[in-house]
Chains A and B, each alone.
Chain A
Amino acid sequence: MTAYHPLVKLVLDGELSLAELPPDLRAQGEAALRMVAAVDRTPVALPAALETRVMAAVRQRAASPWRRLFRPREVRLRIQPVWALALAAVAIAFFVIPRRYETRSPDLSARVAPESVLVRFVLYAPDAKQVALAGTFNQWNQAATPLVRAGNDGVWTATLSLPVGEHQYAFVVDGRRWVTDPAAPAMDDGFGRRNSVLAVSGRGRAS
């Protein structure tokens, strides 16, 4: 795609005339205008049968028994006072009783277990040609989670959705060098090296 000078873009937008461009940009401006002029503006003619085919498909979809079953309908309810009282009692029982029970037994691990949290990993490795993330969350597979270079400053990033729990990991630089995360605590990996560790809680990354 051609990258036009901002002044040429103003010409294309009609905010400047070609004559107002500096001399060295005029050739670019003329080329841009020629290209715009060459665009085919003939109205597109749709086949005559298209509308019929589309409408037939819509009617067939609307006739589906499932659609009719779940089609929105207007429902009118008239609640007698005695029933309103009964419903209010059920609502109070539903909202109040479980909360009392929860404050007695707040097992957060059970409550947050199904949650996942987005975690962003960042490594500064200006000389690296490729960086990947390997850890307990991807079966230590260094092909599973490559980091992408963010700009030209040597910063590599990846964002993962991780389940609640503790995770151990390391960056793999150029497919051979295992590097711990300088922003996270580390522990012995049992093989004479170190793994970075992070604990993901239901409220975000604990550390």
Chain B
Amino acid sequence: MKRLAWLLLAAATPVAAQRPDLAGRLAGRVPAAVIPVVQSLSDSAVAHGLPVEPLFQKAIEGGAKGVPAERISAALQTVFVQLDGAAKAIRSGGASADVESITAGAFSLAAGLDSGQVRDLVRASLRANATAVTLRVSGMLTALGVPGAKVVALVSATLQAGGQPGDVLALPGRVQDGIAHGERPEQAAEGLARAAAARVDGGLGHGRGRTNPHRP
């Protein structure tokens, strides 16, 4: 019986640990009207198994930038919706929605991907067991100006060609190389996706027969 009680306590700890003293951390850093909004959204986030830290971050960002309370509250609602949307997309993609993956998924949604694209990226990442990395990189590619559909195509092709998480991590830098060579972001992404697809068609596998798609 005592063991059962300890087990229940241990199971409840991660959720309880997510309830920090938000009011104390926010006092003096955000307009007073924002604190109950953060508190309420944080309670909902904990209840839904979502991370709380992105809400806190957005609140203090608004406070630091001198944004009015109503606008901070609206931004907090948006962050909550993105966290919830990311968690659902990750689960529907077949991965476990841990804090790191949800945060990365919300980042990619904020960058401009939609939830269907996040779900497709999660599915593509399952074999490499790299959900968080895939979503983080996809958000970066979107922020670089690559359209969502091209982001999904590029990341999926890289993973399908046997790419490891390190190859996915290298994609934003490779797209930036293409941009530095005068390509538009979507052109750079297309070139890299074509190179990855060629590796699949040629049965080369990743890391063999690798060519630089930006080389004329």
Contacts and interface: CB of A to CB of B under 8 A. Distances in A.
A138 to B, nearest CB: 10
Contacts of B1: none
A45 B139 CA distance: 69
B20 to A, nearest CB: 13
B172 A206 contact: yes
A160 B203 CA distance: 42
A140 B137 contact: no
A58 B165 CA distance: 54
A18 B72 CA distance: 73
A4 to B, nearest CB: 47
Contact of A207 (B65, B133, B176): B176
Interface residues of B, number: 44
B79 A108 contact: no
Given A190-B78, A206-B137, A185 B65 contact: no
B200 interface: no
B198 interface: no
Contacts of A203: 166, 169
A199 B78 contact: no
Nearest to B144: A185
B15 interface: no
Interface residues of A, number: 32
A185 B140 contact: yes
Interface string B138-150: 0110111100000
A206 B173 contact: yes
Interface string A187-207: 111111100010101110011
A136 to B, nearest CB: 5
Residue with the greatest number of chain A CB neighbours at <10 A, chosen from B61, B75, B164: B61
A206 B132 CA distance: 14
B136 interface: yes
Interface in B126-174: 128-133, 136-137, 139-140, 142-145, 164-166, 169-170, 172-173
A146 interface: no
Contact of B111 (A107, A165, A187, A201): A187
Nearest to A134: B64
Contacts of A187: 110-112, 142-143
A141 interface: yes
Contacts of A192: 71
A178 interface: yes
15 contacts: A105-B129, A106-B129, A107-B130, A108-B166, A142-B64, A178-B65, A189-B65, A189-B75, A190-B74, A191-B71, A191-B72, A201-B166, A202-B169, A206-B170, A207-B172
List 8 A-B pairs, minimum CB-CB distance, nearest first.
A108-B165, A207-B172, A190-B75, A185-B143, A140-B64, A109-B132, A201-B169, A185-B144
